[in-house]
Structure formats: structure tokens, C-alpha cells
Amino acid sequence: MARLELNGKQYELPEVVGSEGERAVDISALRNNTGYITLDEGYGNTGSCQSTVTFIDGENGILRYRGIPIEELAEKSTFVETAYLLIWGKLPTLQELEDFSQLLTKNEMLHEDMKYHFEGFPTHAHPMAILSAMINAAGCFVPKLLAPGDELFVIQAARLISQVRTIAAFSYRKSLGLPIIYPKPAYKYTANLLHMMFSEPYQDYELLPEVVQALDMIFLLHADHEQNCSTSTVRMVASSRANLFACASAGVCALWGPLHGGANQAVLEMLEKIHQSGDNGSKFIEQAKDKRSGKRLMGFGHRVYKNYDPRAKIIKKKCDQLLDAMHWNDPLLDIAKRLEEAALNDPYFLERKLYPNVDFYSGIIMRAIGIPINMFTVMFSIGRMPGWISNYKEILDNKEGRIYRPRQIYQGPVENRYVPIRERQ
């Protein structure tokens, strides 16, 4: 029990302890008991919920989905199996995984009328704008699915996870003026996305196992990451009892921001600028240490991790394997490795705990696969969908939950009066 003293009066506040020893002070009754609220801009020290989905220890570089270390899942699991784990809280049996995979296949096609929606977007429309709008639209075509119920939720979840890649591929083809390629039921999840993006009529894209595995790994590593901006947005919208498709659409909009899902795009843009300037990265490192230069080292540091991002270690290894398999020499990768080596040995970056994060290498992998920069955040959205659905489910399963409604500290004008327009100066 914590004690708070305000104006000479003491108040007792319950203590909450998480399963991994995280400690919090429960202030949910603070305003009723004291007339005060807390102020924590950016929610850096505020727990918005109690969740059983993902655990992060930023100080020690730990990430676990439903208690399972990310390293084990990356080595032994797949994105689809991990999606099942996140949403239903346990690893599936062989039959459960097969049933879930079949549900994904059964729901991969979009309603044909949705093609008219794609045609309404200009060619230069950003794929994230199309993705958000089309996810929302997808919920309109089977209205009975939006009714509450556990049986319907299974279909909703499978439909959303499956169709988000179809929408993504269609939006990519639309941006290039290319004909739409339909999903192929014989292909598994990630292979099917690559097929829909890069195949041509009567000529299927060659699916290299290393490419499929690398993209599947990106999806798995991004599947959830606790209460980040987009996940918190999904929970906020879900607390109003909005449907799953609307909540996921809101999550896409939040993820679109350059301070969130756009980080891997910023990394590649930084590497391209360094390469175009003729620098091998050495000059940029020195400029990044000078605040007056305006240069910022993208892909390093994290709001939560104060150690090496565990996902970065995994994806760095996968990146090396992919480029070796493709026999692909990328000058940007050489620059990236030079920046990483300098940052991991330079006292300036070590003192500030600016270690490489997952965005640093994911952009290199997607570039090697042939995914354009404006599709990077779309790939992030596909990967994050199971996490959003998991958090949506937690909100709906909590029958005592209330609509999210943060407070504020008003700093505007005090009580004023309306002045008729003819009297205003």
C-alpha cells in the first residue's frame, strides 16, 4: 500500500504487482478521493491497462509473447502460429493450427465490389491511406460478422489477418498500374503475399525459401509490442465497442506516423542520403554527435529498450543470411554495418544507450526483396495485426471495462463573454 500526502492529509493507494514483478500504484480512485488527477504527458509512466499478451523488460532487452521468449519463437515458430498464440493465449495443437490456416485461406478473397473502391483512389495515393480505408470497408461486406460472439470473432480475426495482405498487395499493384493478382490457395500466408505482389498474369513469382522466411520473420518480430501508440489506439477505439475492422483501421492510421511505423523507412532514407553524398558513414557518425548539425542516427535507440533490442539481434542474422543467399551486394548494408559498429563502440552512443533497433535491419531486408519504401509501413501493419486483435479481444472480454476517457489539465482562458461582431476590434 502506497501513501500520498496532499494538503496535510494522507491517502492510501493500492499497489498492483504484475506476474513479472512490475509494480504500479493504482490511482483509479484518486480523483474521487482527493479531487486531484495525475499529469503524465505521453503516458511514459502511466499503465493504461493490465494485459496478459506481451511482456517487455527494456532494461535487460527482454521480449516475450504470452511468456515465450521472442528468440524461441523466431527460431521455432512461424507468423501464423505466433498469431494464434497471441490471440488465443496458447500454442495451437496440430489440428488447431490446421483449422486456423484453413480459415485464413477461406477468407483471403476480397468481395469483387471492393475493386471499385481501389479504382477510386488516385495512383499516387499512399498505400497506408488505402489500407486504412479498405480495412474499414471490408467490414461492410459481411455485416453479420460484426455482431458480438465468440464463434463470429474467430472468423473476424481470420478474415482480417488474411485480407490485410490481399488489400496490401492490391494497393501495391494499383500504385503501379498493374493488373491485380488473386491469392492462390495452395500457398501459405507469407508466400501468398509475395505471389500477389510480384507475380504477373500467367507467370508466377519465383518464391525463394530465404525470401519467404525473411519476410515471415519480419511479421513475427512485429506481431506485438505491448502498449505502443497504435496498440493503445486500437484499445482506445475498442473501449467504445467499435467493431474489429474499425479498430484495426484506426491502428493503421496511428502506425502511419513517422515516429512510429515509419521508422524503418526513415532508416533507409538516411542510408541512401549517406551513400549519395559519397560518405561511407564515418562523416555521418561525427555529424550525428553534433547537435548543431541536424543529423540524426535513425534506427538506433528505443522508447522502451535501454539495451540492445532483442529483435534487432535476430533480424540482423536473418538479413545476412538473406543477402548471402541472394548473392546481393548492397552498398547501403555496408554503410549500415559501419554505423552499427561505430555506435556499439563509440562512448557517445554507449553512454546514451543508442543501440540498433529492429527498424535498422528490417528496411534492408525489404529493400533486398524488392518492396518499395512506401510499402514498408504496410508490411509493419500486416505483422502487427495479431497484436491489435489480441488487445481488442482483451477489451471485449473484460465485461467490467469502461470506455477510455483520459482527463486533462486545462490551461486556456478563464471564463469569458461573447462579444457581438460589430463591437469587436
Q: Which residues are catalytic?
A: 302, 359
For residues 143 and 425, give the distance between their C-alpha atoms in angstroms, rounded to a whole number.
54
Bridge-partner residues for 285, per DSSP?
A: none
- Four-residue CA torsion sign, 373, 378, 380, 383: negative
Let me know how many helices (H) and strands (E) the chain has, helices first: 18, 7
Look at residues 136, 48, 73 and name the one whose alpha carbon lies nearest to residue 394. 48
For residues 328 and 336, give the distance between their C-alpha atoms in angstroms, rounded to a whole number.
15
In sequence order, the 6+-apart residues with CB closer than 8 A to the CB of 140 are: none
For residues 105 and 83, give the distance between their C-alpha atoms in angstroms, rounded to a whole number.
15
DSSP 306-371: SS--HHHHHHHHHHHHHHHHHT---HHHHHHHHHHHHHHH-HHHHHTT--B-HHHHHHHHHHHHT-
- Cβ atoms 126, 374 nearer than 8 A: yes
As a dihedral over the C-alpha atoms of residue 153, residue 159, residue 161, residue 166, rounded to 10 degrees, the angle is: -170
Burial of 189 (0-12, 13-18, 19+ CB in 10 A): buried
Query: Cα-flanking dihedrals φ and ψ of residue 123, to 5°?
Result: -60, -35
Q: State in Å, rounded, how far the first CA of the chain is from the last one.
A: 57
